[in-house]
A and B are shown apart, each in its own frame.
Chain A
C-alpha cells in the first residue's frame, strides 16, 4: 500500500518520496530517543514483568515460581492497606486539587490587587520538595508541638488533633500536606487556561444576563477541556508514584496505616532483599495505570480518527 502509493508519486509528479524517508534528518535525530524509549522504558518494563515470575532475592535469578509472588502480594495485609490508601488519597486528591485549584484561579482572575503577590505565595509550596513538605507537616501536625498544642495553649484543652498518630485518619494528614504542596501548580495551570478565554465571551454572557457561576460552569469550564486534561494527567501521575511524602511524614506509620504501593515495592526490593516480590508489586502498579490510561487514550485519540 505504502510503496505503491510512493511509486505512484514517483511516476506522476516526483514530489512524494517514500513515507519512511520523509523528513529523514528529523527521524535520524529522533533515533537515540526512540532507542532509549524502547530499551530503557519498554525493555526495563518487560524485564521487570519477566522476573516477577521468579523467586529472585537480592540478585535476579531464573528460577520460576509461577504466580507465587502475586499470590503472596494479594494476601499480604500491608499491600492491601497500601492499595486502599492509594485509592483514598488518589480520589480525594484528584477532586480537591481540581476544585481548590480552580476556585483559587477563578478568584485570582477577578482583576484583584496584588495578584502577583498572591500567585507567588500560593505557588511557593510547589518549589519545596516532597521531603521538605513532609517534614514541615510532620511538625505542624505533631500533637506535642503543632496545631493541637497551640490551640490547647489558647484554651481549647479538650481538642484532639493528631492525624499522623491516629491510624484511622493518618492518610488524611498526608492528603493535607499533598494538597498544600500541589494545588499552587494546579491553580497556575487553571489561571493560564482562564486567561486564554476570550474577553468577548464574558461580555456576551453579561449581556445575556447569565450569572457568573453559571458562566463558569457551563461556558468557561467546557472551553478549558485541554487544560483540564493536562492537569488531570499531572495530578494522576503524582498520585501513583507518591512515596517521598509518606516516608518523610510518617514512614508508613502508625503501624502500617499510611503505607503506599511505591513504598511497598521499594522496601521489598531493597530492605527485604526480595526483588521478585517488589517486581510483582510494581507490575501491579503499572497495570493499574494502564487500566486508567488505555480507555482514556482510546476515547481521546481513537475517537478522533473516526470523525
Chain B
C-alpha cells in the first residue's frame, strides 16, 4: 500500500514536469510488491519523458484478483490505455473479439521479429499473423531458493541440487525449521509441481504432457515417479502456515525455512531484504538437476480506444516499452530477463546471470500459460493445491485425476 502510494506520488511528480500537451494514458497492472513497483516506475518515467502522461492503475492482490477487474473493464466498455497480462492465452478471447489494438505496423517498423528473443514470446502475442501485445520481460518458474542461515543453524551444507535438498531435510526438521516453504495459494502448488516434473521426469515428459496434452503419458510410469516425489515433498512443506508467496519467501530470508520452489520474481524480495546471492542465499535453476527455464512473463495489451490522440499515445508506449533503455532499467529492478537479445545487463546479479546464460544457450521451454487455457490451468491448480495440502490423497489417485484433466485440456 505504502509502495503504491509512493509510486503514485512519483508518477504525478513526473507528470508535472511534462508538457501541457501530454496525453493521459491509464495503465493497469498488478505489480505492487516492493521490487515490482520500483520496476514499473521505470516504465512510467520513460513514457513521461516522451511527452505523455502515465496514469498508474496498480491493482493490489496478484494477477488472480487483478485480471477479472481488467477484463470486466474492457468488456464493460470502460477500457484503460494499456494493461498487463501474462504471456499466453489470458487475453486470447479479448483479441478474438476485436477489443485489442493491432500493433503489427509498429512491430514491422521497429523490426520486433528480429530483436525479440526467444521468438515464442512474440508468437504468444500473434493471432492470425497480427501482433497484439508487447512482451516486456521473461520470468521463469524453475528455481529453488535456499537459505544459508537455515542450513548453518542445522549444521549441514547448503545443497546443490534437489536430491541433496531432500536428503538434508531431516536435519532441518530436527533444528526446528520447515524444509520447504510453500504458500497456500493454488498457483504456487501447481508451479512447484510443474518444476518437479522437469527436474525429475525430464523435459520430454513435460513437453508430451504440457504441449501435446497426451493423456497416456500423463498415466505413464515416468509421471508416477514425479507424483511419488511430490507426495514426499508435501510432507516437507508441513508447517508453512502462510498464504502469499512473498510470505513464504520471507521464511527463507529469515532462515525459518530451508528453501522455496518459486519463480525468479522471488529475487526482488531477497534484494529488498539486502541479501546477496551466493552469500545469504543460493538459487538453483532447474532445481540444480535440469538447467532449463520456461519463458513466461508479462506482456502489455492495448485496448481499442476511440480517441485518436490516445491511440497515438498507445503506440508511443508500446515503442517505449520495447526500447533498449527501458528494457534494461525495468528488468534490473524487476529481477527478470529482458525480451531483447541485444541489451547488456552489466549490473545483473549472480542469479540473473545464471538465467541469462541458460537463455543464451537456448535451454528454454514455453510457460504453461502459453500452452494451456486459463480453464485447464485452473483445474490443475485446484487438483495440485488439494494434493499438496491433503496428505490423505495418494499419489496414484492424484495422477489419475491429473490425467483426466489432461484428456480434456485445451
Contact = CB atoms under 8 A, between A and B. Distances in A.
B304 to A, nearest CB: 15
Interface residues of A, number: 28
A77 interface: yes
Contacts of A250: 184
Q: At the interface, is chain B mostly helix, strand, loop or mixed?
A: helix
Contacts of B186: 252, 256
A255 B241 contact: no
A268 B390 CA distance: 22
A84 interface: no
Given A57-B375, A77-B401, A251-B243, A257 B67 contact: no
A254 B93 contact: no
B68 A253 contact: no
Contact of B241 (A58, A59, A165, A268): A165
A207 B185 CA distance: 63
Nearest to A138: B243
Interface stretch (A14-22, A96-104, A270-278): A270-278
B289 to A, nearest CB: 27
Contact of B71 (A252, A254, A270): A270
Interface in B338-355: none
B373 to A, nearest CB: 7
Interface residues of B, number: 31
Nearest to B69: A270
Contacts of A59: 75, 93, 97
A144 interface: yes
B382 to A, nearest CB: 5
B26 interface: no
Contacts of B374: 271-274
A226 interface: no
A68 to B, nearest CB: 10
Given A57-B93, A270-B67, A253 B373 contact: no
Nearest to A271: B64
A254 B186 CA distance: 9
A244 interface: no
A146 B386 CA distance: 25
Q: At the interface, is chain A mostly helix, strand, loop or mixed?
A: loop
Contacts of B373: 57, 273
A144 B385 contact: no
A272 B67 CA distance: 10
A255 B388 contact: yes
A272 B64 CA distance: 9
Contacts of B64: 271
B184 A254 contact: yes
22 contacts: A58-B71, A58-B93, A77-B401, A78-B382, A142-B241, A144-B241, A250-B184, A251-B185, A251-B243, A252-B186, A253-B184, A255-B385, A255-B386, A255-B387, A255-B388, A256-B389, A257-B389, A271-B64, A271-B378, A272-B378, A272-B379, A273-B375
Interface of B: 64, 67-68, 71-72, 75, 90, 92-94, 97, 184-186, 241, 243, 373-375, 377-379, 382-383, 385-390, 401
